[in-house]
Amino acid sequence: MWPLRSSWLLAAILVAAASSLGAFWMAITIYLPNPGPPPPVIGASPIAGLKASDLHESFKEIHHGHRHEAIDIMKPYGTPVHAVVDGTIRKLFVSRAGGTTIYQFDTNGNYCYYYAHLDRYADGLHEGMSVERGQIVGYVGTSGNAAPGAPQLHLAIMRLGPDKRWWQGIPIDPYPVLVSFLEKSSG
Ligand SMILES: [Zn+2]
């Protein structure tokens, strides 16, 4: 047998303690949620005269085989759609599911606001353009996979990653954000 000296034993205990403390701090660093940017805010209603009671929570519903991760606001065809925050039109994109869509970044590039199923864009809207909250950016429609008789605005909010990819972000439920704005603004 190897002679067991108490000084070796002490050294071994110290090394084990130091490495487990390191592992502990590493675990804290990895598992504590990244504080990230402040939560998203809506600064203007996407639809004039909208009331909280018009809205229906559907973030977790399954639509077309996917978690919805957005809100649908049912409004007559051609109703103007307003930018909900100040920011920049990052991408105008036509997709099979979303139809005619807008990806708008907020001023800080923390969040992307996505408007879908539009009938058309506001005249002159283009990528890279600055827009102010309340400005008309498009009109309600049924483009993409919206049911033909059910014109609606599909509104989503995504938290952008460090690379600011317009098509990629963490979905944030827009329902409480919009309800909070509407309740405050209705006084
Ligand atoms: Zn939708």
* Residues 128 and 173 sit within 8 Å (Cβ to Cβ): no
Four-residue CA torsion sign, 60, 65, 66, 72:
negative
Question: What do you get for the CA distance between the two ends of the chain, in Å?
Answer: 82
Q: What pLDDT does residue 3 have?
A: 53
Output the CA 137–ligand 1 centroid distance in Å.
18
pLDDT at residue number 16: 65
Q: What does the block give as tokens for 139?
A: 């009109």
3-class DSSP assignment, residue 19: helix
pLDDT number for residue 36? 80
Residues of the chain with pLDDT under 70: 1-34, 187
State the distance from the centre of ligand 1 to the C-alpha of 70, rounded, in angstroms.
6
Residue 142's identity, in one-letter code, is: T
DSSP 8-class letter at 61: S
How much is the pLDDT for 13?
A: 63
pLDDT attached to residue 48: 97
- Please give the distance, rounded to the nearest whole angstrom, from the Cα atom of residue 129 to the centre of ligand 1: 25
Using the mean position of ligand 1's atoms as its centre, give its distance from the Cα of residue 23 in Å. Answer: 43
CA distance to 39, 83, 103, 125, per residue, from 135 (Å): 22, 5, 15, 11
pLDDT tens readout for residues 58-85: 999 999 899 999 999 999 999 999 999 9
Residue 68 Cα to ligand 1 middle (Å): 6
pLDDT tens digit string along 160-171?
A: 999 999 999 999
In a 13 Å sphere around the CA of 26, the CA atoms on its Cβ side amount to: 6
